[in-house]
């Protein structure tokens, strides 16, 4: 083939490539601070089943709780409409990866697998796992060694850090999986299990809701270390904005007011 012929073939091939439409694979829009402001909507992913942080009243369709109040405050400070996107603990990471919401709020514990997928805000609460049991039985379970024995039934909700903690630490006790996180404490109060291990803040709150029936077991000395924060996509301006918003709330009285309402 002569040089001129090769040249013409290359030119023709290049022209054909340039004529092809530029089509990128379909991909969900990743939330950014700019996209939230441009859409005038903040989508907050929350489970709605974790008092005192997030609870969906199925009769009214309204959410309430510690982190629900903060979600409302964040949307107001951004000047955008707030939309709650319901998720489940078992689906949280999948829904986060699918960009179904702009931020996850509602008692979200900081974990390394979650950190690998996105950013966390500055933690707003430090705690860990503690036990809660019917008050008459609580003294039987002062520590994990007393809990992890044959015949002891530990009830747990599916898909979250509670279930992981139980499987990581309990080898002899029976782990009883409850279908959801809404009825679990009523099941415990009814004697369907001996105890539950969950976040210390939740044991304190459920002790108040079931006064005289369920008792938190040394929530001031949890079994492990954990922190709660808000889970964000990998957008640095959005993370910085949320951190600054949280910092201001923690110093202007907003955080103290909401904390006193739900966690004291």
> What pLDDT, in 10s, does the model give residues 189-246?
999 999 999 999 999 999 999 999 999 999 999 999 999 999 999 999 999 999 999 9
pLDDT in tens, 10-23: 344 434 434 444 44
- Do 44 and 113 belong to one domain? yes
Cα 2 to chain centroid distance, Å, stands at: 67
- Do 85 and 164 belong to one domain? no
Domain boundary residue, one of 217, 238, 253: 217
Q: Is 179 helix (H, G, I), strand (E, B) or coil?
A: coil
pLDDT given at position 24:
39
- Do 114 and 233 belong to one domain? yes
User: Domain of 212?
Assistant: 129-217
- Do 138 and 193 belong to one domain? yes
Residue 107 domain-assigned? yes
pTM, 2 dp: 0.80
Give the number of other Cβ atoms within 10 Å of residue 124's Cβ: 17
Tokens of 202: 């939740």
Are 95 and 208 spatial neighbours (Cβ–Cβ below 8 Å)? Answer: no
């Amino acid at each position: 083939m002569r040089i001129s012929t090769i040249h013409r073939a290359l030119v023709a091939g290049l022209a054909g490539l340039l004529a092809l439409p530029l089509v990128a694979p379909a991909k969900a829009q990743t939330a950014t601070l700019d996209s939230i402001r441009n859409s005038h909507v903040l989508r907050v992913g929350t489970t709605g089943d974790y008092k005192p942080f997030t609870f969906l009243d199925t009769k009214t369709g309204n959410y309430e709780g510690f982190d629900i109040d903060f979600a409302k405050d964040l949307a107001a400070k951004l000047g955008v409409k707030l939309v709650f996107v319901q998720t489940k603990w078992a689906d949280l990471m999948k829904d986060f990866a699918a960009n179904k919401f702009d931020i996850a709020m509602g008692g979200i514990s900081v974990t390394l697998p979650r950190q690998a997928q996105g950013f966390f805000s500055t933690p707003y609460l430090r705690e860990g796992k503690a036990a809660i049991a019917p008050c008459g039985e609580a003294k039987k379970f002062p520590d994990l060694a007393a809990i992890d024995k044959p015949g002891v039934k530990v009830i747990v909700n599916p898909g979250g850090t509670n279930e992981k903690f139980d499987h990581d630490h309990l080898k002899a006790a029976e782990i009883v999986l409850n279908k959801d996180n809404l009825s679990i404490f009523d099941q415990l109060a009814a004697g369907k299990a001996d105890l539950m291990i969950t976040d210390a803040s939740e044991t304190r709150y459920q002790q108040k809701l079931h006064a005289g029936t369920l008792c938190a077991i040394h929530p001031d000395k949890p079994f492990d270390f954990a922190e709660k924060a808000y889970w964000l996509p990998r957008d640095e301006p959005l993370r910085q904005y949320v951190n600054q918003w949280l910092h201001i709330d923690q110093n202007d009285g907003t955080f103290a007011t909401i904390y006193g309402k739900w966690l004291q």
